[in-house]
Chains A and B, each alone.
Chain A
Amino acid sequence: MNVELLTLSEVESVSGDAGNFTVNIKKKPRYIDMNKCIACGLCAEKCPRKVDDEFNMGVSKRKAAHIKYGQAVPLKYAIDGDHCIYLNRGKCRACEKFCPTGAVNFEDREETVPVHVGAVILAPGFKPFDPAGLDFYAYTQIPDVVTSLEYERLLSASGPCMGHLVRPSDGREPRKIAWLQCVGSRSTNRCDNGYCSSVCCMYAIKQSLVTAEHTTGDGLEQSIFYMDIRSHGKEFERYYETAKASEIRFVRARPHTIYPGRENTGASMRYTTEAGETLVEDFDMVVLSVGMEPPEDARRLAEKFGIALDHYGFAKTNSFAPVTSNRPGIFVTGSFQAPKAIPRSVAEASSAAAEAAAALIQARGTLTHEKSYPRERDIVAEEPRIGVFVCSCGINIAGVVDVKAVVDDAKTLDHVVYVENNLFTCSADTQDLIAQKIGEHGLNRIVVAACTPRTHEPLFQDTLKEAGLNPYMMEMANIRNQNAWVHQGQPDKATEKAKVQVRMAVAKVSKNYPLYRDTVAVQQKALVIGGGLAGMSAALGLADQEYETILLEKSDRLGGNAWHLTATDRGRAVRPVLEAMIDRVENHPRIKVLQNAALESAVGSVGNFVSKIRVDGESRAVTYGVAVVATGARESRPDEYLYGQDDRIMTHLEFDAHLNEGDGIAAGMSSAVFIQCVGSRDDRRPYCSRVCCTHSVKSAIRLKEANSRMNVYILNRDIRTYGEREDLFRKARDLGVIFIRYSADQKPEVSRDGDGLCVSVFDPISRFPLRIEADAVVLAAAIEPNDTHELVELYKCSANADGFLNEAHPKLRPVEMPVEGLFVAGMCNYPKPIDESVGMAKAAAAKAGVILAKKEMQLDAIKSYITEKCDGCALCLDVCPYRALQLEEYPGEDGRSHQRIVTDKALCKGCGLCEATCPKGGIYVHGFTMEQLKDQVSAALAVL
Chain B
Amino acid sequence: MPNQIVTLGKAPRSLFKDNVMEILPEGGNLNACLTCGLCASGCPASGLSDMDPRRFLRMAALGMDEEILKSDWAWMCTMCQRCISVCPMKINIPQLIFNIRASWPRENRPKGILGSCDMALRHDTCSAMGASEEDWRFVVEDVADEVREMQPGFEEIQVPMDRKGARYFLNQNSREPVTEPDEMIPLWKILQQAGADWTYGSKGWAAENYCMFLADDKDWEHIVRTKAKAVEDLGCKVWLNTE
Contacts and interface: CB of A to CB of B under 8 A. Distances in A.
A713 to B, nearest CB: 8
Given A272-B40, A733-B32, A768-B5, A763 B58 contact: yes
A773 to B, nearest CB: 5
Given A227-B34, A733-B32, A733-B33, A711 B10 contact: yes
Given A711-B10, A766-B6, A771-B5, A253 B41 contact: yes
A767 interface: yes
B86 interface: yes
Interface string A723-766: 00000001001111011010000000000000010000001011
B35 A741 contact: yes
A186 B88 contact: yes
Interface stretch (B48-56, B97-105, B228-236): B48-56
A274 B37 contact: yes
A738 B61 contact: yes
Interface in B68-103: 82, 84-90
A561 interface: no
A422 interface: no
A186 B34 contact: yes
B13 interface: yes
Interface in B6-55: 6-13, 27, 29, 31-43, 46-47, 50-52, 54-55
B54 A773 contact: no
B151 interface: no
A741 B33 CA distance: 13
A276 B50 CA distance: 7
A777 to B, nearest CB: 13
Given A186-B34, A188-B88, A253-B37, A768 B6 contact: yes
A387 to B, nearest CB: 68
A252 to B, nearest CB: 8
Interface stretch (A165-173, A254-262, A814-822, A899-907): A254-262
A276 B53 CA distance: 10
Contacts of A771: 5-8
A136 B86 contact: yes
Interface string B178-202: 0000000000000000000000000
A771 B12 CA distance: 16
A710 B12 contact: yes
A278 B58 contact: no
A770 interface: yes
A766 B55 contact: yes
A257 B10 CA distance: 41
Contacts of B50: 276
A271 interface: yes
A272 B62 contact: no
The listed residue with most A CB atoms (<10 A of its CB), out of B29, B40, B62, is: B40
B108 interface: no
B42 A773 contact: no
B113 interface: no
B37 A711 contact: no
A586 to B, nearest CB: 46
Nearest to A254: B38
Contacts of B58: 763, 765-766
B5 A734 contact: no
Given A278-B41, A736-B31, A766 B62 contact: yes
Nearest to A673: B8
B211 to A, nearest CB: 29
Interface residues of A, number: 48
Contacts of A774: 10
Interface string A867-891: 0000000000000000000000000
A772 B4 CA distance: 14
Nearest to A669: B10
A257 B8 CA distance: 36
Contact of B40 (A136, A278, A734): A278
Contact of B89 (A189, A270, A767): A189
A182 interface: yes
A670 interface: yes
The listed residue with most B CB atoms (<10 A of its CB), out of A253, A256, A709, is: A256
Contact of A254 (B5, B36, B46): B36
A522 B33 CA distance: 58
B44 to A, nearest CB: 10
Nearest to A775: B10
A671 B10 contact: yes
Contacts of A252: 37
B21 to A, nearest CB: 10
A526 to B, nearest CB: 46
A271 B6 CA distance: 27
B59 interface: yes
Given A189-B86, A189-B88, A769 B5 contact: yes
A187 interface: yes
B31 A770 contact: no
Interface string B194-231: 00000000000000000000000000000000000000
A271 B32 CA distance: 21
A278 B33 CA distance: 20
Contacts of B61: 738
Contacts of A663: none
B43 to A, nearest CB: 8
Contact of A670 (B10, B31, B42): B10
Contact of A257 (B42, B55, B89): B42
A277 interface: yes
B127 to A, nearest CB: 34
B157 interface: no
A765 B36 CA distance: 10
Nearest to A741: B35
Contacts of B8: 671, 711, 713, 770-773
Contacts of A274: 37
A409 to B, nearest CB: 69
Contact of B41 (A182, A272, A711, A767): A272
B12 A709 contact: yes
Nearest to B32: A733
Interface string A235-264: 000000000000000001111110000000
A899 B12 CA distance: 80
A670 B9 CA distance: 9
Given A189-B87, A272-B46, A766-B59, A255 B41 contact: yes
Contacts of A276: 40, 46-47, 50-52, 55
Contacts of A765: 35, 54-55, 58
A139 B135 CA distance: 49
A255 B41 CA distance: 6
A188 B26 CA distance: 13
A366 to B, nearest CB: 53
B64 interface: yes
A770 B5 contact: yes
Nearest to B4: A768
Contacts of A227: 34-36
Contact of B7 (A273, A277, A713, A773): A773
20 contacts: A186-B88, A187-B89, A188-B88, A189-B87, A256-B82, A272-B43, A272-B52, A276-B50, A278-B40, A278-B41, A278-B47, A278-B52, A671-B10, A711-B13, A733-B31, A766-B58, A766-B59, A766-B62, A766-B64, A769-B6
Given A272-B41, A733-B32, A734-B27, 10 more contacts: A136-B42, A189-B87, A253-B41, A254-B36, A254-B37, A271-B41, A278-B47, A671-B10, A768-B64, A774-B10
10 closest pairs, A vs B, by CB?
A256-B42, A187-B88, A272-B40, A709-B12, A256-B41, A189-B90, A765-B58, A271-B41, A254-B38, A671-B10
Interface of B: 3-13, 27, 29, 31-43, 46-47, 50-52, 54-55, 58-59, 61-62, 64, 82, 84-90
